[in-house]
Amino acid sequence: MNRVTATSVEWVALPATVRAAVEEQAGPVLSAEPHGDGRNSPVRLALETAQGRVFIKGTGPDDLERRRWKLDLGAKLSPYVTRIAPALLWRVEAEGWDIAGYEYLPGRPWASQHPGSRDVPKLVAVLRELEEIPAPDVLDVTAVECWGRYADDLSVLEGDAFVHRDPNPANFVVSDDRAWMVDWGWAARGPAWLTAAQLVLSLMEHEWEAGAAEEAVSGLPAWQAADPRDLAAYGEINARMWDDYVRGNDDPVDNYRAGVAHAWARHRAELAQPSP
Ligand SMILES: Nc1ncnc2c1ncn2[C@@H]1O[C@H](COP(=O)(O)OP(=O)(O)OP(=O)(O)O)[C@@H](O)[C@H]1O
Ligand SMILES: [Mg+2]
């Protein structure tokens, strides 16, 4: 089931001072197109400039603090993830707008996560590279902060690994030979298996059976090392978070995703049963 996405503000709708500040960095803009899918960034444009292409992502003066914070975290983490993500080229602030310019990645600005998709091994390869990157000090948000209120035992969420909380299709760019992961405002410090667990959930949201989705990530060292009791506990934590999110909310996509969270929690609870 596809998530709802929001369209980007048009380039010409940005204040002239903001456009001038961007052009000072990127060069004169020849054309601009809304690019890719997402929900949070009101500015999400591919700019064709005299110096080449650039992807810009930004927040405006009326944006929620949460969105500004995500843009900021993504920009701060950029130097640490250049092996698997586009490099931040510059950042400008003007009239309450905060615009980050990233190297433009050639490729499809989304991954297919449907069963049988040839993109999935590329996504798993990115997760394997992520496992090798130590969480930098600037990454101070933790999985405990994100999910802790739904946990009986916080130790399940503790860890020092570099985690991406949202490996959904639109947070990847895919080319013929590889994938890149974007949107590092969704990073957290937590258990090393957590990104893989989130990818399993995202695959299940795209019609995979739980066992097959887990098989797809089974080559990841962090997944192999995960304690099945922790995965079962996380399944429950995540299902509780979704229950909370959909209480009084009849959005069909959110409710579908909550159902997937429960399906994975049941699958993990069964696997965690001691064999008779
Ligand atoms: N450097 C880039 N080059 C090309 N495409 C990109 C680049 N960075 C992101 N994209 C694509 O642009 C879209 C939006 O990117 P991103 O996820 O960073 O912002 P967002 O979705 O608005 O944020 P959120 O997921 O928090 O709503 C995605 O479809 C992504 O694949
Ligand atoms: Mg995104």
Tens of pLDDT along 155-192?
999 999 999 999 999 999 999 999 999 999 999 999 99
Average pLDDT of the chain, as a whole number: 95
Is 130 in the same domain as 166?
Answer: yes
What is the spatial distance between Cα 200 and Cα 194, in angstroms, rounded to a whole number?
A: 10
In angstroms, what is the span from residue 269 Cα to ligand 1's centroid?
A: 34
Tens of pLDDT along 14-69?
999 999 999 999 999 999 999 988 777 789 999 999 989 999 999 999 888 899 99
Q: Is residue 70 part of a domain?
A: yes
CATH no. for residue 34?
A: 3.30.200.20
Is 96 in the same domain as 166?
Answer: no
Q: Which domain, by its residues, includes 234?
A: 119-272
Is 131 in the same domain as 99?
Answer: no
Among 81, 182, 202, say which to mutate for ligand 1: greatest number of ligand atoms within 8 Å of CB: 182
- Ligand number nearest to the C-alpha of 186: 1
Is 202 in the same domain as 236?
Answer: yes
In angstroms, what is the span from residue 118 Cα to ligand 2's centroid?
A: 21
What is the predicted pLDDT for the residue at 231? 98
- Ligand number nearest to the C-alpha of 111: 1
Structural domain ending residue among the three candidates 77, 103, 129: 103
Q: Is residue 32 part of a domain?
A: yes
Is 124 in the same domain as 91?
Answer: no
Write the residue with the smallest CA distance to atom 31 of ligand 1: 109
Q: Is residue 111 part of a domain?
A: no
Q: Is residue 86 part of a domain?
A: yes
Q: Is residue 205 part of a domain?
A: yes
Classify residue 136 as exposed, middle or buried by CB count within 10 Å of its CB (0-12, 13-18, 19+).
Answer: middle
Is 141 in the same domain as 21?
Answer: no
Q: Is residue 220 part of a domain?
A: yes
Structural domain ending residue among the three candidates 74, 103, 132: 103
Which residues form ligand 1's pocket by a CB distance below 6 Å? 35-41, 44, 55, 57, 70, 86, 102-105, 109-110, 170-171, 173, 182-183
Domain count across the chain: 2
Is 224 in the same domain as 155?
Answer: yes
In angstroms, what is the span from residue 41 Cα to ligand 1's centroid?
A: 8
Structural domain ending residue among the three candidates 78, 103, 128: 103
Q: Is residue 46 part of a domain?
A: yes
